[in-house]
Structure 1
């Protein structure tokens, strides 16, 4: 597990997203996660929705099921799956600004809460499915992240995690100059490998029914974000003011680091499919991309 040289807390994560909220929405839009390109011809908007739909497919969502969105951001994934799959979703975010945006774009069947997933207050075995779309990276206690998901899911419940991962056996210079600074600048308390995630999942009782490395299909997210940020800084005075004055302004350095980390293989992007209780289900597995 790669740990930054400056400790990151849930409070720091919340402050990061609250402070940079206007810039995040300008650069990322309302989906604060990677896009998934199937053909390479998709627009960025189509690509981010493709990743959401992939999560829904992996979960095999059925109408009426109770679902959990762990680290829901602006609630866009929850809204899309609630409407298209006719499920009920409870979302958790640390950011009051993200929850405010979600409240302004409310849809039936979606409840967004400002609360730490590690202290979620949900009843045991109360959900049918859960997903964590690029939020596990921000968890201070990753074993507990898995343990809480296992506790909250009913027997046979499904869990999909889309995660930034460190290359297994990453060399010293990749850790020193790419992965550790990405953790520090991006407010990631730690960054794990595929093997570490699978070990933590298995330790609390999950069965791993699928894993797919989609690094080659998501990496172009970062050049797009770099272009959007550069354009915003050039043409918008308010964005420049916020970026220069922000306490979290060093997080922008992570964009070129992420581009290089994907190019060198130091950063991987994996989709895990887990089940509680060893229930049979579809298996997805693919060699590293």
Structure 2
């Protein structure tokens, strides 16, 4: 597990996203996650929606299901899946700014809460499916992250995680100059490997039913973000002010690191499909086990 030399906590994560809210929406839009390219001809907007749709496919979502979006950002994934799959979604974010944006863009069946997932307050076996798109990295207690998902899901429930992962057995140079600074600058308490994620998932009681490394298909996200950021800095005085004065301005340095981390293989991007063991009861709807990769 890669751990930054300056410890991070939920307060630091919330402060990061609240302060940099204008930057995130300017550079990323309302989907604060990677895009997923298949043909290479997709627009950035199509690519980010393709990642969301991939998550919905992995989960095998069915109309009427109760779902949880862990680290929901601006609620865009929750809104898209609620509309396209007919599900209800409870989303959790640490950022009051993100929740305020979500509240201004309501969709029926979507409830966004400002609350730490590690103290989510949901009842046992209350959700049919859950997903976490690039939010597990921000969890202080990753084992608890998995344990809470397992507790909240019904037997047979599906859990999909899209995660930034450290290269297995990354060398000292990659850790010192790429992975550890990315954690520090991005307010990540830690970054795990595929093997560490799977071990934590199984320890929590999940079966690992699928895994796909899509690093090459998401990596172009960061050159696109870099170009957008440079353009914004050139034309927008407020963006320049934030780049110079914001408490979290150091995150700007992570963009070139992320580009290099993907190109060197120091960082990977994985999609995990997990299943909570047990038979789904008839009162919770049909079994929606995703096909293993």
Q: TM-score higher than 0.5 here?
A: yes
1:264 aligns with 2:242: no
By how many angstroms is 1:159 displaced? 0.1
1:100-154 per-residue CA deviation (whole Å, 9 max, x = no partner) reads 0000001000000000000000000000000000000000000000000000000
Counterparts of 1:113 and 1:59, CA distance in 2: 22
1:63-83 per-residue CA deviation (whole Å, 9 max, x = no partner) reads 000000000000000000000
1:7 aligns with 2:7: yes
Counterparts of 1:136 and 1:106, CA distance in 2: 25
TM-score, normalised relative to structure 2: 0.96
**Cross-structure match for 1:223:** 223
1:17-63 per-residue CA deviation (whole Å, 9 max, x = no partner) reads 00000011000000000000000000000000000000000000000
3-state SS, counterpart of residue 132 of structure 2? strand
**Cross-structure match for 1:211:** 211
Find runs of 4+ consecutive structure 1 residues off by over 4 angstroms. none
TM-score, normalised relative to structure 1: 0.97
Residues 207 and 278 in structure 1, CA contact (< 8 A), matched pair in contact too: no
Residues 69 and 131 in structure 1, CA contact (< 8 A), matched pair in contact too: yes
**Cross-structure match for 1:30:** 30
**Cross-structure match for 1:97:** 97
**Cross-structure match for 1:78:** 78
Counterparts of 1:241 and 1:181, CA distance in 2: 23
3-state SS, counterpart of residue 212 of structure 1? strand
Gaps of 5+ in 1: none
Residues 273 and 290 in structure 2, CA contact (< 8 A), matched pair in contact too: no
Residues 158 and 290 in structure 2, CA contact (< 8 A), matched pair in contact too: no
Counterparts of 2:97 and 2:18, CA distance in 1: 5
Residues 206 and 278 in structure 1, CA contact (< 8 A), matched pair in contact too: no
Counterparts of 2:255 and 2:58, CA distance in 1: 29
RMSD of aligned C-alpha atoms? 0.9
3-state SS, counterpart of residue 125 of structure 1? coil
The count of aligned residue pairs is 285
By how many angstroms is 1:198 displaced? 0.1
By how many angstroms is 1:278 displaced? 5.5
Summarize the alignment of residues 32-181 of structure 1 with structure 2, pairs less than 5 Å apart: 32-181=32-181
Residues 186 and 254 in structure 1, CA contact (< 8 A), matched pair in contact too: yes
3-state SS, counterpart of residue 173 of structure 2? helix
Residues 212 and 284 in structure 1, CA contact (< 8 A), matched pair in contact too: no
Gaps of 5+ in 2: 280-286
Distance 1:282 1:68, change over 3 A: closer
3-state SS, counterpart of residue 158 of structure 1? strand
**Cross-structure match for 1:195:** 195
3-state SS, counterpart of residue 161 of structure 1? strand
By how many angstroms is 1:283 displaced? 3.6
Distance 1:278 1:264, change over 3 A: farther
